[in-house]
């Protein structure tokens, strides 16, 4: 039995001094339940993800102690992909009729700092200043620009688009539009990536309520179909984050490519049918690379597409219509459910000032992060 | 006049002290994949038995980036401060078709780095302890340095 999304809820992303991640998540869950027109005791199972909250399943204490099985999940930046995938899967298998996916986080300011041992790496890798995931993003886009003729200006255009889209989203964090010139004038953090080309860790929460497709008529609003969820980890030969060495002359595609192909196959939907996409834009370069890795264009084609405005709202392939990670920041556990929230609004036609014209029918969400894991979700009306 | 005391950041990373230091890699006994640093498991097949293999000390730059702000500390333990921090570059250097190794680069300026550029191994200090001891790590420098160019 297919799973459909009947409710979405989003706590704004940003900085909320004095408000806990769990309180933000409780707000998001209440919003998602209201959106679906169901009460918490009706929820039969759930999956919840967070980096900073050790026991995110303790959220039951904010919602009502109904005995519901609520399982914690974690896959780094792809956490929310796993939460949604599992919430859909237990409906598809017939185990449950009504489920929820929840994500929450509240990160301190600045770059993520951790001991390399959390990723199974030796101490010297951190001591000598090599254990920063941002190095990977700088190195991958530098090579990609060299191989495929992407320019610094195109990186800046991507960031400018995402800030512009965020300015039309009252739940986004970075809502001040920045010009291409301002972005190119910001300091380099990891060549060729500059300060205003990066997303930052922040705070926020999101929730998604799902039910069996044949029961969707009982609930408020237009259901959105979950057509595919896929998650893949890195293969040997892929150019990947947190790798002290990589094999030479043995190349494999990114896990994004693997997850994307699997998702298209499960959905029976091709890249040409995608009407709106949310792609992991940890930085502007990542969005550009992920357009090709998700089959949405050929390598190098982004230079012309972005110059022609094809990824803008109103373009042929709108990308990160709510501002993406660059505009919203990244509370890791919630980030992917923020993408799903946006796609549901777009497919319902209720995205307001940032609505993609032409009644989009297929939405695509993509996550990527350490230690080389990608999740793809395909939704349709 | 006493020489500055130097210690490696970790044992088993490179042969040192040596006039011609080399990185110490590991060849998987099961599938033959060469990795760096040695162990604990082969990235391709999960094998846990290796033979030590010294890696070529020259290669070409596959890609690079820079670190323009002081990394979060810990884990970074350089003796600099946010005020004295000097940006550095990092890259992957392809060693003779065997393996690509991620390393700090001695040349910090992207204008002096290029994909495909010939590089050579250097053992360099990245931190100084309170007693003046230099902590050494591996890096790659352009085969033709800025001064030589």
For an interface test with B, the pick among A123, A248, A250 (most B C-beta atoms closer than 10 Å) comes out as A248
Q: What is the rounded CA–CA span in Å between residue B119 and residue A41?
A: 64
Q: How many CB atoms lie within 10 A of CB B129?
A: 12
Distance of CA B24 to the CA centre of its chain: 11
With beta carbons under 8 A apart, name residues in chain A contacting B37: 122, 244-245
* Rg from Cα positions in chain A: 19
Minimum-distance CB partner of B36 among A113, A191, A244? A244
Give me the torsion for CA of B22, B24, B27, B33, rounded to 10°: -80
Could A129 and B104 be called an inter-chain contact, meaning their C-beta atoms sit closer than 8 Å? yes
* Rg from Cα positions in chain B: 16
Could B65 and A193 be called an inter-chain contact, meaning their C-beta atoms sit closer than 8 Å? yes
Minimum-distance CB partner of A138 among B43, B65, B78? B65
Could B92 and A246 be called an inter-chain contact, meaning their C-beta atoms sit closer than 8 Å? yes
Rounded to two decimals, what is the model's pTM? 0.96
Q: What is the rounded CA–CA span in Å between residue B24 and residue B15?
A: 7
Q: How far is A151 from chain B (nearest CA, A)?
A: 15
With beta carbons under 8 A apart, name residues in chain A contacting B9: 124, 127-128
With beta carbons under 8 A apart, name residues in chain B contacting A127: 9, 75-77, 127
Find, in chain B, the residue whose alpha carbon is nearest to that of A136.
Answer: B65
CA distances from A237 to A234, A246, B55 (A): 9, 7, 19
For an interface test with A, the pick among B63, B74, B76, B108 (most A C-beta atoms closer than 10 Å) comes out as B63
Q: Is A134 helix (H, G, I), strand (E, B) or coil?
A: helix
Q: Is B106 helix (H, G, I), strand (E, B) or coil?
A: coil
Strand-pairing partners, residue B135, are: B7, B127
Q: How far is A356 from chain B (nearest CA, A)?
A: 36
A8 with A340: CB under 8 angstroms? yes
Query: By 3-state DSSP, what share of chain B in percent is helix, strand and coil, each rounded to 5?
Result: 0, 40, 55
Minimum-distance CB partner of A245 among B66, B90, B100? B100
What are the residues whose beta carbons fall under 8 Å from the beta carbon of B81, sequence distance 6 or more?
Answer: B70
For an interface test with A, the pick among B25, B34, B65 (most A C-beta atoms closer than 10 Å) comes out as B65
Q: Provide the CB-side half-sphere exposure for A257 (13 A, CA).
A: 15
Could B63 and A143 be called an inter-chain contact, meaning their C-beta atoms sit closer than 8 Å? yes
With beta carbons under 8 A apart, name residues in chain B contacting A115: 74-75
Find, in chain A, the residue whose alpha carbon is nearest to that of B72.
Answer: A113
What are the residues whose beta carbons fall under 8 Å from the beta carbon of A309, sequence distance 6 or more?
Answer: A315
What are the residues whose beta carbons fall under 8 Å from the beta carbon of B148, sequence distance 6 or more?
Answer: none
pLDDT higher than threshold 60 for residue B1: no
Which helix or strand (DSSP H or E) is residue A207 part of?
strand A203-212
Could B64 and A122 be called an inter-chain contact, meaning their C-beta atoms sit closer than 8 Å? no
Minimum-distance CB partner of A122 among B37, B65, B77? B37
The percent of residues above 90 in pLDDT, for chain B, comes to: 90
Q: How many CB atoms lie within 10 A of CB A357?
A: 9
Could A245 and B99 be called an inter-chain contact, meaning their C-beta atoms sit closer than 8 Å? yes
Q: Average pLDDT of each block of 10 consecutive residues along chain A (381 residues)?
A: 97 98 98 97 98 96 98 96 98 98 93 81 95 96 98 98 98 98 98 97 98 94 94 97 92 97 98 98 98 98 98 98 98 98 98 97 97 97 95
Q: What is the rounded CA–CA span in Å between residue A111 and residue A31?
A: 30
Q: What is the rounded CA–CA span in Å between residue A247 and residue A245?
A: 7
Q: Provide the CB-side half-sphere exposure for B76 (13 A, CA).
A: 20
Strand-pairing partners, residue B128, are: B134
Q: What is the rounded CA–CA span in Å between residue A131 and residue A244?
A: 9
With beta carbons under 8 A apart, name residues in chain A contacting B101: 244-245
Find, in chain B, the residue whose alpha carbon is nearest to that of A147.
Answer: B115
Tell me whether residue A114 is exposed, middle or buried, using C-beta atoms within 10 angstroms of its C-beta: 0 to 12, 13 to 18, 19 or more.
Answer: middle
Distance of CA A260 to the CA centre of its chain: 14
A71 with A47: CB under 8 angstroms? yes
Written as six digits, the tokens of A110 are 């600045």
Short-list A223, A199, A354, CA closest to A279: A199
pLDDT band at residue B138 using 50, 70 and 90 as cut-offs: very high
Q: What is the pLDDT of residue B43?
A: 93
Q: How far is B84 from chain A (nearest CA, A)?
A: 15
Domains of chain A: 3-109+198-380 (3.40.47.10)
Average pLDDT, chain B: 95
Minimum-distance CB partner of B100 among A124, A188, A246? A246
A76: left (phi over 0), alpha (psi -120 to 50) or beta: left
Q: How far is A319 from chain B (nearest CA, A)?
A: 26
Q: What is the pLDDT of residue B2?
A: 60
A86 with A73: CB under 8 angstroms? yes
Q: How far is B10 from chain A (nearest CA, A)?
A: 6
B107 with B87: CB under 8 angstroms? no
For an interface test with B, the pick among A119, A245, A249 (most B C-beta atoms closer than 10 Å) comes out as A245
Terminal CA-CA length for chain A:
16
Q: Provide the CB-side half-sphere exposure for A187 (13 A, CA).
A: 6
Minimum-distance CB partner of A189 among B69, B126, B127? B69
For an interface test with A, the pick among B30, B43, B68, B75 (most A C-beta atoms closer than 10 Å) comes out as B75
Minimum-distance CB partner of B72 among A113, A236, A245? A113
Query: pLDDT tens-digit profile of A134-166?
Result: 999 999 999 999 999 999 999 999 999 999 999
Could B102 and A245 be called an inter-chain contact, meaning their C-beta atoms sit closer than 8 Å? yes
What are the residues whose beta carbons fall under 8 Å from the beta carbon of A217, sequence distance 6 or more?
Answer: none
A233 with B43: CB under 8 angstroms? no
Number of A to B CB contacts under 8 A, please give it. Answer: 124
Query: pLDDT tens-digit profile of B49-103?
Result: 999 999 999 999 999 999 999 999 999 999 999 999 999 999 999 998 889 999 9
Q: Compute the average pLDDT of residues B15-39.
A: 95
């Amino acid at each position: 039995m297919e799973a459909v999304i009947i409710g979405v809820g989003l706590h704004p992303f940003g900085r909320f001094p004095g408000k806990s991640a769990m309180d933000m998540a409780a707000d998001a869950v209440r919003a998602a339940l209201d959106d679906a027109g169901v009460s918490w005791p009706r929820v039969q199972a759930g999956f919840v993800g967070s980096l900073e909250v050790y026991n995110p399943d303790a959220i039951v204490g904010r919602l009502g102690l109904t005995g519901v099985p609520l399982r914690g999940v974690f896959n780094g930046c792809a956490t929310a992909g796993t939460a949604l995938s599992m919430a859909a899967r237990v409906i598809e298998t017939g185990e449950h009729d009504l489920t929820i996916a929840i994500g929450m986080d509240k990160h301190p300011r600045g770059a993520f700092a951790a001991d390399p041992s959390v990723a199974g790496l030796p101490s010297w890798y951190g001591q000598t200043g090599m254990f920063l995931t941002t190095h990977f993003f700088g190195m991958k886009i530098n090579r990609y620009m060299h191989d495929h003729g992407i320019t610094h200006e195109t990186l800046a255009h991507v960031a400018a688009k995402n800030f512009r889209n965020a300015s039309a989203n009252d739940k986004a964090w970075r809502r001040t539009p920045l010009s291409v010139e301002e972005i190119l004038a910001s300091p380099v953090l990891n060549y060729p990536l500059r300060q205003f080309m990066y997303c930052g860790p922040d705070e926020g929460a999101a929730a998604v309520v799902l039910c069996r497709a044949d029961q969707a008529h009982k609930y408020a609003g237009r259901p959105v179909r979950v057509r595919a969820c896929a998650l893949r980890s890195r293969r040997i030969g892929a150019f990947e984050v947190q790798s002290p060495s990589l094999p030479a002359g043995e190349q494999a595609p990114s896990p994004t490519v693997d997850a994307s192909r699997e998702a298209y196959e499960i959905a029976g939907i091709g890249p040409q049918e995608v009407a709106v996409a949310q792609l992991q834009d940890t930085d502007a370069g990542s969005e550009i690379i992920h357009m090709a890795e998700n089959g949405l264009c050929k390598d190098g084609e982004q230079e012309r597409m972005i110059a022609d405005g094809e990824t803008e709202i109103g373009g042929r392939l709108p990308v990160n219509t709510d501002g993406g990670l660059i505009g919203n920041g990244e509370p890791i556990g919630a980030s992917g459910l923020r993408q799903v929230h946006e796609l549901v609004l777009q497919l319902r036609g209720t995205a307001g000032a940032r609505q993609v014209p032409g009644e989009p029918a297929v939405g695509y969400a993509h996550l990527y992060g350490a230690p080389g894991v990608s999740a793809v979700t395909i939704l349709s009306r | 006049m006493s020489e500055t005391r130097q210690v490696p950041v970790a044992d088993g990373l490179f042969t040192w002290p040596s006039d011609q230091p080399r990185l110490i890699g590991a060849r998987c006994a099961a599938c033959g994949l060469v990795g760096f640093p040695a162990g604990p498991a082969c990235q391709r097949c999960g094998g846990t038995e290796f033979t030590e293999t010294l890696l070529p000390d020259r290669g070409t730059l596959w890609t690079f980036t820079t670190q323009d702000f002081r990394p979060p500390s810990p884990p970074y333990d350089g003796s600099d401060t946010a005020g004295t921090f000097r940006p550095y570059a990092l890259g992957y250097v392809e060693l003779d078709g065997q393996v690509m190794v991620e390393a700090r680069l001695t040349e910090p300026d992207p204008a002096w780095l290029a994909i495909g550029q010939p590089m050579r191994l250097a053992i360099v200090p990245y931190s100084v302890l309170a007693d003046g001891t230099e902590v050494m790590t591996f890096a790659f420098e352009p085969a033709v340095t800025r001064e030589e160019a």
